[in-house]
Amino acid sequence: MTGVEGNSIPGIFEFMDVPGELVRIAGKVTRGERVTPEEGVALFEQGELGFLGVLADLVRRQKNGDKACYIRNFHIEPTNICVNKCKFCSYSHHFSKTRWELTVDEILEKVENQDPSTSELHITGAVHPDRDIFYYGDLLKKIKAVRPGLHVKAYSAVELDYMIHKSGMSFKEGLAYLKACGLDSIPGGGAEIFDETIRKDICGMKSTSQAWLEIHETAHNLGIPSNATMLYGHKESYAQRVDHLERLRQVQDRTGGFNAFIPLKFHNSNNEMSDIREVSVTEDMKMYAVARIYLDNFPHLKAYWPAVGRMLAQVSLSFGVDDLDGTINDSTQIYSLAGAEDQNPVMTVTEMVTLIREAKRTPVERDSLYNPLSNF
């Protein structure tokens, strides 16, 4: 008899003096039953970190065993010139001291210069006023001509919303066009926080929550998988975090197209929200754990290490995380400009493998669709 079948885990929680309401929720989780929004809020409000860690670890283990994965990837950020003005953004030309727009040749040169062992390119950037869907479609075609086997995960729903709207196409037509050009999957950016009041306050100019969700659902229905993120640790309440998770869980019930959920910790340097204190490590781990418990239909939970730091990413492996994203190769500035501890994010495979092994997990290099490429 395993601990789960024997319900001994709730028994341990009673011994630990965990509140009765949480012991009841733990019982549900161990039986594979879904947590309600009210129960999600109770986990955030009353859950002590040790309790949440055990429960999230149980869910992680049931879904992913002892494997922790990573990918050899790199990013290209084509521009930081943006039509929007999100208050938390340190990256766009409004707040950053730099301003850039790469030419197609410069982008292709970056692709050509990458180590051929990289399997994924992540393209995301600002919403440039002068670029359209045909520019981005041609870019995909040219990248595929240079590296046909490279998986291109490109354009957040916010960039897609802008370029598709401008073209007069429907989301379905625009996404089908980009897929035909070489779009393989969509990153999770731009979700921020779905609650309309907070969204209006911190990023009122960008795509609505409804548009974000509709773009991802349409993409899934066209066979384009995607990720989902949430920007946490700013003005949002626990109930608003759970509302965000709930909206994602509902889409996933209908499509099954999300690969991973990625909580993104708010960083407060060089932006219009610098007066907000960054949340504690406890809060970070709580966020990972509750996400793992709540999103019972998401196969993977990712700690994006340039956002949370490599040491906390390692710790997050004990709070529900099974994916550490990638080697990155110092190709993104979104977090370094916002004050994250890694100013030049690059991790070698050896470092990644060591970090995972130290957490007593088996490192697995994956492709973008989570197929294993090599097992250490």
* Positions in the binding site for ligand SF4 (CB under 6 A): 82, 84-86, 89, 91-92, 126-127, 158, 203, 206
CA 186/CA 346 separation, integer angstroms: 22
Q: Compare residues 107 and 231 and give the one whose CB is closer to ligand SF4.
A: 231
Distances (CA, A) of 175 to 104, 121, 151, 156, 328: 21, 18, 16, 12, 26
Direct distance between the N- and C-terminal alpha carbons of the chain, in angstroms, rounded to an integer = 31
Q: How far is the CB of 352 from ligand V47 (least distance, A)?
A: 15
CA 285/CA 294 separation, integer angstroms: 14
Q: Compare residues 204 and 256 and give the one whose CB is closer to ligand SF4.
A: 204
Residue whose token pair is 């669709």? 369
CA 98/CA 96 separation, integer angstroms: 5
List Cβ neighbours of 13 (8 Å cut-off, separation of 6 or more).
Answer: 22, 23, 26, 51, 54
Q: Which residue is nearest to ligand V47 (CB)?
A: 189
Q: How far is the CB of 84 from ligand V47 (least distance, A)?
A: 11
Residues 56, 322 contacting (CB under 8 angstroms): no
Contact set with ligand V47 (CB under 6 A): 88-91, 124, 187-190, 192, 227, 229, 231, 262, 264, 266-267, 271, 304, 325, 334, 338
Q: Compare residues 316 and 333 and give the one whose CB is closer to ligand SF4.
A: 333
Q: Which of 169, 149, 263 is nearest to 222 (CA)?
A: 169
Helices 157-167, 209-221: crossing angle, 10 deg rounding: 80
Q: How far is the CB of 92 from ligand SF4 (least distance, A)?
A: 4
Q: Which of 118, 86, 278 is nearest to 189 (CA)?
A: 86
Q: How far is the CB of 370 from ligand V47 (least distance, A)?
A: 12
Out of ligand SF4, ligand V47, none, which partner does residue 206 contact, by CB within 5 to 8 A per kind? ligand SF4
The 3-class secondary structure across 213-256, one letter per residue, is HHHHHHHHHCCCCEEEEEEECCCCCHHHHHHHHHHHHHHHHHHC
Q: How far is the CB of 307 from ligand V47 (least distance, A)?
A: 6
Q: Compare residues 162 and 298 and give the one whose CB is closer to ligand SF4.
A: 162
Residues 261, 293 contacting (CB under 8 angstroms): no
In the structure encoding, which two tokens stand for residue 241, read together?
């975090």
Out of ligand SF4, ligand V47, none, which partner does residue 85 contact, by CB within 5 to 8 A per kind? ligand SF4
Phi, psi (5° rounding) for residue 341? -65, -30
Out of ligand SF4, ligand V47, none, which partner does residue 126 contact, by CB within 5 to 8 A per kind? ligand SF4
Q: How far is the CB of 167 from ligand V47 (least distance, A)?
A: 22
Out of ligand V47, ligand SF4, none, which partner does residue 84 contact, by CB within 5 to 8 A per kind? ligand SF4
Out of ligand SF4, ligand V47, none, which partner does residue 187 contact, by CB within 5 to 8 A per kind? ligand V47
Out of ligand SF4, ligand V47, none, which partner does residue 70 contact, by CB within 5 to 8 A per kind? none
In the chain, the amino acid numbered 102 is L
Q: Compare residues 13 and 155 and give the one whose CB is closer to ligand SF4.
A: 155
Residues 223, 17 contacting (CB under 8 angstroms): no
Out of ligand SF4, ligand V47, none, which partner does residue 262 contact, by CB within 5 to 8 A per kind? ligand V47
Out of ligand SF4, ligand V47, none, which partner does residue 144 contact, by CB within 5 to 8 A per kind? none
Q: How far is the CB of 182 from ligand V47 (least distance, A)?
A: 18
Q: Compare residues 215 and 293 and give the one whose CB is closer to ligand SF4.
A: 215
Q: How far is the CB of 5 from ligand V47 (least distance, A)?
A: 35
